[in-house]
Structure 1
Amino acid sequence: MSKVENLEKQIQQLSPDELAEFRRWYAEFDADRWDRQFELDVRSGKLDALAEKALRAHVAGQSTKL
């Protein structure tokens, strides 16, 4: 059995309160991981081309106010 399958079985056995606690924990964990990866991508320049493309589109009038 893989680690993921093992986790799935364990999660299925959680009580409603435990499942709610797990959801809260996982949402925070996942957001933190995403933030760290995004920061690494910004620092490494991975997003530079996308930012430049967006700025060019904005200057060309291809964007709208939110």
Structure 2
Amino acid sequence: MTKLEKIEREIEALGPEELSHFRAWFAAFDAANWDARIDSDAASGKLDALAERALTAHRDGRTRPL
């Protein structure tokens, strides 16, 4: 059995309250990892080309207000 399969079985065995707590924890955990990845990509310049394309589109009038 893989590590992931073990985790899946443990999650399946959780009661409703524990599952609710797990969901909240995992959502926060996942969001923090996502934020860290975005911060890392931004700091390394990986997002510079995308930002420039967006700014160019805006300057060229190819955007609309939200």
Q: TM-score category by the smaller chain?
A: over 0.9
Letter in 2 for 1:31: A
Number of residue equivalences: 66
Q: How does 1:13-32 map to 2 (within 5 A)?
A: 13-32=13-32
Letter in 1 for 2:5: E
What's the CA shift for 1:40? Answer: 0.4
Structure 1: gaps of 5 or more residues: none
Please give the TM-score of this superposition, normalised by the length of structure 1: 0.98
Structure 2: gaps of 5 or more residues: none
CA RMSD of aligned residues (A): 0.4
- Runs of 4+ in structure 1 displaced over 2 angstroms? none
The corresponding residue for 2:46 is: 46
What's the CA shift for 1:59? Answer: 0.7
Q: Aligned partners of 1:41 and 1:10: how far apart in 2?
A: 34
